C-alpha cells in the first residue's frame, strides 16, 4: 500500500487515493481531503461525514447514498447538492473510508 502526504499528514491509501486505515483519520485531515477534491466543508457536509464515520465500524462497510439518506437523515437531493456528481464516492473519500460497495 502506498502512503501519501495530504496537508502535512502522512496516510496509507489505495491506488485511487482512498484511505485504508480507519484510525489515521482526523477531522483536520477530512478538511484537507475535501480541499483536494474541491469541496468546501460546511456544518451540513460534516453531518454527512460524521454519519459515515459512525456507521462504518457498526456495519463494516461504507454507507451507500441510500443509507445516508434513510438512516443518516440527509435527503438524497441534498447529498447531490453538497457533494456534486459523485456524492457517495466523495463522501467516502473525505471520511477516509473505502468506496461503498453496495449497489443501492
Partner 1 sequence: MTTTQTAPIVPSFDEDADGGRKLAIICSKGTLDMAYPGLILANAALGEGIETHLFFTFWGFDMINKKTMGDLKFTMLGNTATHMPQGLGGIPGMTSMATHQMKKSIAEAGVPEVPDFLQQIVDSGGHLWACRMSADMQHLEAEDLYDEVEAIISASDFIEKTDGAQLLFI
For residues 79 and 87, the answer to whether their CB atoms sit within 8 Å is yes
Cell output for 35: 480541499
By CB under 8 A, residue 52 contacts partner 1: no
| Least distance to partner 1, CB of residue 71, Å | 10
| Among 43, 23, 41, CA closest to 32 | 41
**DSSP letter string, 42-70:** -HHHHHHHHHHHHHHHHHSSPPPHHHHHH
Cell output for 24: 489515521
By CB under 8 A, residue 1 contacts partner 1: yes
What CA–CA distance (Å, rounded) separates 26 from 9? 10
Q: Which span sits near partner 1 by CB under 8 A: 2-10, 21-29, 41-49, 50-58? A: 2-10
Q: Closer to partner 1 at the Cβ: 17 or 24?
A: 17
Question: Does 2 participate in catalysis according to the annotation?
Answer: no
By CB under 8 A, residue 87 contacts partner 1: yes
Which positions are annotated as active-site residues?
103
Site residues (CB under 8 A) for partner 1? Answer: 1-6, 10, 12-13, 15-18, 36-38, 64-67, 69, 75-77, 80, 84-90, 93, 102-104
Amino acid at each position: 500500500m502506498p502512503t501519501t502526504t495530504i496537508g502535512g499528514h502522512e496516510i496509507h491509501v489505495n491506488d485511487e487515493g482512498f484511505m485504508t486505515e480507519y484510525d489515521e483519520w482526523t477531522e483536520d485531515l477530512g478538511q484537507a481531503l475535501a480541499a483536494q477534491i474541491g469541496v468546501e466543508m460546511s456544518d451540513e457536509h460534516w453531518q454527512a461525514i460524521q454519519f459515515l464515520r459512525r456507521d462504518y465500524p457498526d456495519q463494516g462497510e461504507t454507507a451507500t447514498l441510500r443509507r445516508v439518506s434513510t438512516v443518516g437523515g440527509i435527503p438524497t437531493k441534498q447529498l447531490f447538492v453538497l457533494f456534486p456528481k459523485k456524492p457517495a464516492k466523495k463522501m467516502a473519500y473525505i471520511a477516509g473510508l473505502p468506496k461503498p460497495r453496495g449497489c443501492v
